[in-house]
Structure 1
Amino acid sequence: MGQFGFLIDMDGVIYKGKQVVEGANRFIQRLLDEQIPFAFLTNNSQRTRRDGVIKLARMGIHVDESHIFTCAMATARFLASQKPGGTAFVIGEGGLLQALHKNGYAIVDDDPDYVVVGEGRMFNMETVEAAVRMILRGSKLIATNLDPNCPTAHGLRPGCGAIVAMLETATGLKAFSVGKPSPVMMRSARKELGLSTGGVVMIGDTMETDILGGVSMGYRTVLVLTGSTKREDLVRYAYRPDVVIDSIGQLCEEHIFQHVIEGLAVDPAPQEAPA
């Protein structure tokens, strides 16, 4: 069968708000105990890897920073490969700023190589106006992701995609997005785990990001129904996950776990996990 591993979305899969999904901790502990490669794959650019580790630890899931892979990391690595030692004007927060600095980027307020947009509430119209002027003068617009909104304990709030849409409308120019479902992030995360394409299982709750990204890369995809996608939503999409389960806790059941793993060696028709 060869080596296999998991890319796992966080919000809606491992937890909802501050509540861990039942069975998630047992599944992750199995991966740790059996030394199965995995990474949590998140389109949240606000948090650093360390922030993610602490958030999970408070829910009883104990991993280290190597298990966290964010769209901020993917964005910073991509920009460093495109223009080493470049400059960026950032609309975003700590996770994005740290990732850019770690990859050799300077944060500037004038004439940047890139205008980089992430999630956050620390922006205003003055910042947006400055970004528009920079883009029109030639700075390239980069989105850490295009998610239109973000779930919070109090409901949805505008996401990175909403801020990017405002800049795109104002400038008439389109952003290049690095986060899920972009192959840039999906491929970078796979390489981080040292896996081949055929050895990756993507577990997510969102068809437009997790599942689309996995399908596009040729990964095996598992949709959980604890997040944004419901079973009745599936008929609206031209693509489907390989396996549909109620929650990640079901992967603690040996026959379902084996069903997912064994499917890596074949190209099965889309189906639900066996009852």
Structure 2
Amino acid sequence: MENTGFLLDMDGVIYKGKELIDGADVFIKRLQEKKIPFLFLTNNSQRSRRDVQLKLNKMGIEVEESNVFTCATATARFISKQKPNGSAYVIGDSGLMNALHDNNIANNDMDPDYVIVGEGKSFNMNMIEAATKMIMKGAKLIATNLDPNCPVPDGIRPGCGAIVAMLETATGKKAFSMGKPSPIMFREARKELGVRTENTFMVGDTMETDIIGGVEMGYKSVLVLSGGTNIEDLDSFAYHPDMVVSSIKDLMDLPILN
């Protein structure tokens, strides 16, 4: 059979909070044994690929840094192609900063080509004001993702999309987003897998990002019910996944894994 590859969301698919989802480690081990390419696809720009690798290793999933693909990586690669050696004013944490530096995008708090927004706790109103002025002077507004909030142990906190909304409202400019469900991120990740569109599985727990992105790209979309979506929720959407499973361990029954 022609090469098959997997794009895997993380929170709600591989782990929930600090707990590994039952069977996730066994599934990844099977992919490795079968030499089936896979990438962890995350809309979290805070952590670098190395940080995510370390987190997974500590949870008992031994993977390489090259198995991780973040929205920060997608953002940095896209900008480096659009404007090689460009510059950016960044509202975000080290994962985003590192990805930009790796792609020769310089930090610039005077007259940047872009204002790039990611998640993080380091932003303040002075940064929002500075970014607003830069955008009004011509800097292009880029969002690593438009997720309105992020899960935390005791609930949620504002996400990248919430910060971007402030800048969009203040400037009247719409952000260009790179994270799921952006086709830019999905296409770049598939190319890194090295497999054809029809042989790409997208496994996720969120209809509005993982599943719609997979559907629009022509990937085989798999919804797991171990995260934030219930089976009853499917009636609210005009699109549906190719498969619905309780958790990732149910995919062990796929013929390509046996």
TM-score, structure 2 length as denominator? Answer: 0.98
For 2:76 and 2:154, how far apart are their aligned partners in 1? 30
| Structure 2 unaligned regions, length at least 5 | none
SS of the counterpart of 2:11? Answer: coil
Aligned to 1:39: 39
CA distance in 1, matches of 2:191, 2:50: 21
Residue 98 of structure 1 is matched in structure 2 by: 98
Secondary structure of the structure 2 residue equivalent to 1:45: coil
Correspondence for 1:159: 159
Q: In the aligned structure 1, how far is the partner of 2:54 from the partner of 2:153?
A: 18
Q: How does 1:162-201 map to 2 (within 5 A)?
A: 162-201=162-201
Residue matched to 1:247: 247
SS of match in other structure, 1:180: coil
Matched, 1:80 2:80: yes
**Displacement after TM superposition at 1:155 (Å):** 1.2
Cα distance in 2, alignment partners of residues 151 and 93 from structure 1: 17
One-letter code aligned to 1:10: M
Alignment coverage as a number of residue pairs: 257
DSSP 3-state at the match of 2:141: strand
**1:228 Cα deviation (Å)?**
1.3
Q: CA deviation at 1:153?
A: 1.4
User: What amino acid is the match of 2:25?
Assistant: N
- Residues 73-130 of structure 1 deviation map (CA, whole Å, 9 limit, x = unaligned): 0000000000000000000001100000000110011110000000001100000000
What residue in structure 1 maps to residue 22 of structure 2?
22
* TM alignment of 1:132-151, pairs within 5 A: 132-151=132-151
Cα distance in 2 for residues equivalent to 1:154 and 1:121: 16
Once the two structures are superposed, the pairs formed by residues 197-236 of structure 1 within 5 Å of their partners are 197-236=197-236
Deviations 1:5-49 (CA, angstroms, capped at 9, x unpaired): 100000110000100000000000000111100000000000011
Question: Cα deviations across residues 136-194 of structure 1 (Å, max 9, x unaligned)?
Answer: 11000000000001111121111000000111001011000011000000000000011
**Matched residue, 1:272:** none
The residue number in structure 2 matching 1:267 is: none
Taking the aligned partners of 2:195 and 2:110, their CA distance within structure 1 comes to 40
What SS does the corresponding residue of 1:138 show, helix, strand or coil?
A: coil
Normalising to structure 1: TM-score of the pair? 0.92
Report the CA distance between 1:229 and its aligned residue. Answer: 1.1
**In 2: Cα distance, 1:189 partner to 1:229 partner:** 24
Percent of residue pairs identical? 64
The code of the aligned residue for 1:49 comes to: R
Aligned 1:52-131 pairs, distance under 5 A: 52-131=52-131
Shift of 1:226: 1.1
